[in-house]
Structures are given as structure tokens and as C-alpha cells.
Amino acid sequence: MKTSFKFTRRTVVVVITVVLTLVIPTVPAFATHAYWEFVKGTNRDSTLKWYSRNSNEVRTLMASWRAGSGVSTDPCAIGRGWLPDGWYDSWGHWNQYNGNAIDGRVFWLQNKTCRDGTTRTELFIHSEQTVMNGQDCPTSGDDPQCWEAYYDYESAGCIKVAYPNNGFPDTIGSVHYYFHNLAGSRPTNQHDQWTMSAMLYVD
């Protein structure tokens, strides 16, 4: 008996769906929310991780990137130390933040008190980029909207991630993608001030 296989539209859709499911990471079933974890190593070489967590509080590591914070390991040193340990709410996110010191895709973190009572403020997750998410590298030195070298992982306290320039990966793009698309059941489509509880754990 002669058999034949027809590439119907339905067949094509099924094939594509199967391929995409295998290739693109997805939030595990029944995930309640996702969050970051910043694992301290050195000021220039620490790790920012993205976890999903289900209703049974079981977490799954979904992504991991190199990140940095501060120039000193004293979390009480305003403007110089890395972040204090503990949980942080996110207070907002923007794609085209136009600040005095930071720009572009940024995630605003809550204030946090360190062990001597000093409160760290104005903390963000960000990279070095322009408002429109590009690069501005006018000098051969350290330009604030230009990702030049490993020293750019240092900061006044914020968590810094790389921008795809000078051979570095597109970490800010990846962090941004995961935040919007793989955050579990929590809506993350806003671009403004709003609170998402317990979005970052620093240890």
C-alpha cells in the first residue's frame, strides 16, 4: 500500500512548536516567582543568578552571569562598598533611564542597612550604556557610558553587569530578557516605579 506524508500546515506548526520547546528555556510548571541572587566573590568577579521558585519553594537555576559590586568589601562604606547582604525588593525598572550617573536599562533596588546601621541608598542593577542602550566611548579611558574592561564591573555599590562591547557578553540584555519573559507568575512588563517583593538576595 502506498503511503505518503503531507507537509500540512498543522504538521509544520507541530514541528516548530516541538523545536522551540526544546530550545527556548521556560519557567518550570507551577512557578510562583523568579528572583535574582547575587553571590559575592570579589568586587569585580561575583555572580548574578536568576532563579525560578515554585509553590513548594523549590528553586531552579535558570541563568548565571558574571557581575560586580563596589570597590571595597565593606558593605557599610557609602559610595564604595559592595551591597549589604539580605533580601531586596525591586522598586522599579526602566529601559531608557536618563540619570546623572547611570542610564539605559536599570533595575532599582530598595535601600538596605548594613551591620553598623548605615543605610545604603540609590542602588541599582545596571551596566554602562547610554539612555538609548548604546555605547558612548569618547576617550581611551574609563567612560561612564562605555563598557571597556573588567574594571567596569566595579561600582559605587550597585550590581554591574556587562554590555556587549570589547568582547564582553550581552549580560544586560540577558538579564533584561529573563526579567521580562521568565519571571514566573509575577507580571514584569511595567517600566516605572513599582515594588516587586524579594526580587534579589545578596550573600
Partner 1 sequence: MIDSLARFVRIVLAILALFGLLLLLMPGEGAEADPSRASMAAGPAEPPIPFIRDDVITARDAGSRARLRKPGAATLMGWLAPLAVPSPDQRYVAYSTWDQFQPIDPGLSYAKQGLERGDPVGQPTVRVLDRATGQDEVLEEDAYSVAWNTSGEFAYVKGIDDLVVGHSYDGHVLVREEYDRSPVPWTTAPDRYVVVQWAGERLIAYRIDEGEQLNVVVFDGPGAIRELGTGSSLVAVSPDRRSLITETIDGTDSGRGSTLRLIDIASGQTLATLPNDELVDPATGDPIPWILYSGSWVGDRIVAESPLGIVVLDAAGPSLRVEQVLRFPPNAFPQGVHEPRLLDSGNRVVGWGPVDGDDASGPRRVVYVDCDLDARHCQHGTADGAINFRPLFNPSI
DSSP helix/strand/coil, 111? coil
Q: CA-to-CA distance for 143 and 36, rounded, in angstroms?
A: 27
- The yes or no reply on residue 138 touching partner 1 (CB under 8 A) is no
- The yes or no reply on residue 116 touching partner 1 (CB under 8 A) is yes
- The yes or no reply on residue 124 touching partner 1 (CB under 8 A) is yes
Q: How is residue 115 annotated by DSSP?
A: T
- The yes or no reply on residue 45 touching partner 1 (CB under 8 A) is no
**Interface pattern 72-111 for partner 1 (x via CB under 8 A):** xxxxxxxxx-x-xxxxxx-x-------xxxx-------xx
Q: CA-to-CA distance for 70 and 72, rounded, in angstroms?
A: 6
Select the residue interacting with partner 1 from 33, 105, 112, 176 (CB under 8 A): 112
Strand ranges (E), 70-166: 86-98, 103-109, 112-113, 119-120, 124-126, 159-160
Residues paired with residue 64 on neighbouring β-strands, in sequence order: 49
Angstrom CA distances, 127 to 5, 9, 95, 164, 176, stand at 51, 44, 12, 10, 11
Q: Identify which range of 14-22, 45-53, 114-122, 129-137 contacts partner 1 by CB under 8 A.
A: 114-122
CB of 74 to partner 1, least distance (A): 4
* Binding residues vs partner 1 (CB under 8 A): 40, 71-80, 82, 84-89, 91, 99-102, 110-124, 126, 140-142, 144, 148-149, 151-152, 154-158, 193, 195, 197-199
